[in-house]
Chain A
């Protein structure tokens, strides 16, 4: 763990380095590795938000991401989809956020009564329903997806200015990260963690557990919606394949590789996944067997550490602090409690 007093400087440093990367990376890397990692990381963050604070593993997050993407595609000017609205991309995107949160609340009302494996299955069912809806309703999804969604003009051209959307994604990811960290210390955030740890006690303390869970699920949907909107801005297209069961599993893998108990893990997992997905293909032995190779790497990470990469990092750094710093100077500086969520 980074000592509390160093958290802000280290975090600032990481963001600064990330912001400067487009100057040293090729356009291809900026777009296909870095931007893609940020967007997938944001989607994974919506999953880890619910998992770390609420103890809920949701498989509906990519479906919600798709709802946002398809809503933008249908409302804005694009090739395929409803076409009748042709709204300004900003209005379309804002409406997409609203629609997705409403869908999220609706799913939340139903899913918030369940826990554990049942919650997993219910959210999986909703994920599949959303995909089937867009697959069958070709009026909404076009044949072979919605293409050429017009980007906001401030982003310039996706080919010529890949760094613009990258910076926008980076900014939004930082805001979401800070927002989630802040939320965890608010009354609602602490109560949500209370529900994770002991639901009957929360009821006895006077909390409306179902309502709180539903609203929290809506917040998770909002994060997923941000990722979904950024995805169509970046990719300028979306198809039902984007939210198929395969990508749903990959998103879960990203979250688990990163570590389900720390929100930072979302982007760590996404970067690892995207780099592997990108590089493994060019290795002869792997070729088209990318999923198999990813699966093996996933197994190795999970066997090494149930807390994912963030878990490995935590156990290594605490071992380092025990052996490296002796003589009682091991407290977190000002004695504040570490923000780690002990979910295991």
Chain B
């Protein structure tokens, strides 16, 4: 992440543009007045204590539900009221804070279903030549996220760490342009977190990454830009070193570090 590379990327139009985004759930204002630009190739971390609205913001970007205020633009297209499945073809993928996998299918089939999700042909009731390629692609992707040894295991039988790896593998299926990771390090042991950090740093530069993470080591190592949220609003933005030195961040987050680090 050299300085020139970052500034070159910043000259282009943002691939994600949020303007005045808010989301209410009844009386709860989970997210409010969020303006955010993310440029192609950027690695952005979204930090904040529990309940700050990070995951709600993710859900609005991914199209799980529409915002109650403001607009969402992806790759220059207004997708504010489009469902998730209209955003996938644009190249938007995500992981979930709590793994959402297909427990009755093998690792390879989980990845295969993810690839088909992006490639289309969802209702095809026959196998054809393309499927062989997709299955091969799925196995290769499984290898890439460190699951080469368990490709034919049922996902329900995997360890927690392996399931987290598969979460990321599924988000990498089908050439994503914007990948959103919701606490990928949740519940991982120290050694697994180191491996995860390496994997995230190894992502192709063509992939833009937004990362929600409670683990500061992982987040500040991987990210080049950090957005700090509190009470549904963005309170601080900056580089990892600025964030490390920011007093408000310390008060909000690191001050309660012991509780948040678990």
* Residues on A facing B (Cβ under 8 Å): 182-183, 185-191, 193-194, 196-198, 200-208, 211-212, 215, 219, 335-337, 341-343
Is there an interface contact between B122 and A185, defined as CB atoms closer than 8 Å? Answer: no
Is there an interface contact between A200 and B113, defined as CB atoms closer than 8 Å? Answer: no
Is there an interface contact between A194 and B113, defined as CB atoms closer than 8 Å? Answer: yes
Given contacts A204-B96, A341-B104, 14 further A-B contacts (CB under 8 A): A182-B127, A186-B131, A187-B127, A188-B122, A188-B124, A200-B100, A201-B96, A201-B101, A204-B93, A205-B113, A206-B85, A211-B123, A336-B152, A337-B154
- In the complex the two chains form, what is the Cα distance from A193 to B62 in whole Å? 23
Closest 10 CB pairs of A and B: A206-B88, A205-B117, A197-B102, A201-B100, A206-B117, A206-B85, A337-B152, A194-B113, A342-B104, A188-B125
A-B pairs with beta carbons under 8 Å apart, 24 shown: A186-B127, A187-B124, A187-B131, A190-B105, A190-B113, A191-B122, A193-B102, A194-B102, A194-B113, A196-B102, A201-B96, A201-B101, A202-B117, A204-B62, A204-B84, A204-B96, A205-B170, A206-B117, A207-B117, A211-B123, A219-B125, A336-B152, A337-B152, A341-B104
- In the complex the two chains form, what is the Cα distance from A311 to B112 in whole Å? 28
Is there an interface contact between B85 and A197, defined as CB atoms closer than 8 Å? Answer: no
* Interface: B121 (CB within 8 A): yes
* Interface: B187 (CB within 8 A): no
Q: Considering the complex, which residues of chain B in the window 23-79 have a beta carbon less than 8 Å from any beta carbon of chain A?
A: 62, 64
Q: A205-B88, A342-B156 are in contact. Are A197 and B105 (CB under 8 A)?
A: yes
Contacts of B116 in A (CB 8 A): 187, 190-191
Number of A-B contacts (CB under 8 A): 105
* Interface: B103 (CB within 8 A): yes
- In the complex the two chains form, what is the Cα distance from A337 to B155 in whole Å? 12
Contacts of B106 in A (CB 8 A): 337
Interface core residue of A197, A198, A205, A341 (most chain B CB under 10 Å) = A205
Contacts of A336 in B (CB 8 A): 152
The minimal Cβ–Cβ distance linking B47 to chain A, given in whole angstroms, is: 23
When C-beta atoms are compared, the residue in chain B nearest to A203 turns out to be B84
Identify whether the interface residues of A are mostly helix, strand, loop, or mixed. Answer: helix
* Interface: B118 (CB within 8 A): yes
* Interface: B12 (CB within 8 A): no
* Interface: B114 (CB within 8 A): yes
Residue in B87, B105, B154 whose CB lies within 8 Å of A194: B105
Q: A197-B102, A198-B102, A201-B100 are in contact. Are A207 and B122 (CB under 8 A)?
A: yes
The minimal Cβ–Cβ distance linking B82 to chain A, given in whole angstroms, is: 12
When C-beta atoms are compared, the residue in chain B nearest to A179 turns out to be B125
Q: Considering the complex, which residues of chain B in the window 144-177 have a beta carbon less than 8 Å from any beta carbon of chain A?
A: 152, 154, 156, 170
The minimal Cβ–Cβ distance linking B170 to chain A, given in whole angstroms, is: 7
Interface core residue of A185, A201, A211 (most chain B CB under 10 Å) = A201
- In the complex the two chains form, what is the Cα distance from A197 to B152 in whole Å? 17
Interface core residue of B83, B85, B127 (most chain A CB under 10 Å) = B85
Contacts of B102 in A (CB 8 A): 193-194, 196-198, 201
- In the complex the two chains form, what is the Cα distance from A185 to B113 in whole Å? 11
When C-beta atoms are compared, the residue in chain A nearest to B100 turns out to be A201
When C-beta atoms are compared, the residue in chain A nearest to B117 turns out to be A205
Q: A185-B127, A201-B96, A336-B152 are in contact. Are A206 and B62 (CB under 8 A)?
A: no
Is there an interface contact between B118 and A206, defined as CB atoms closer than 8 Å? Answer: yes
Is there an interface contact between A193 and B105, defined as CB atoms closer than 8 Å? Answer: yes
Contacts of A215 in B (CB 8 A): 123
Contacts of A335 in B (CB 8 A): 152
Contacts of A342 in B (CB 8 A): 103-104, 154, 156
* Interface: B183 (CB within 8 A): no
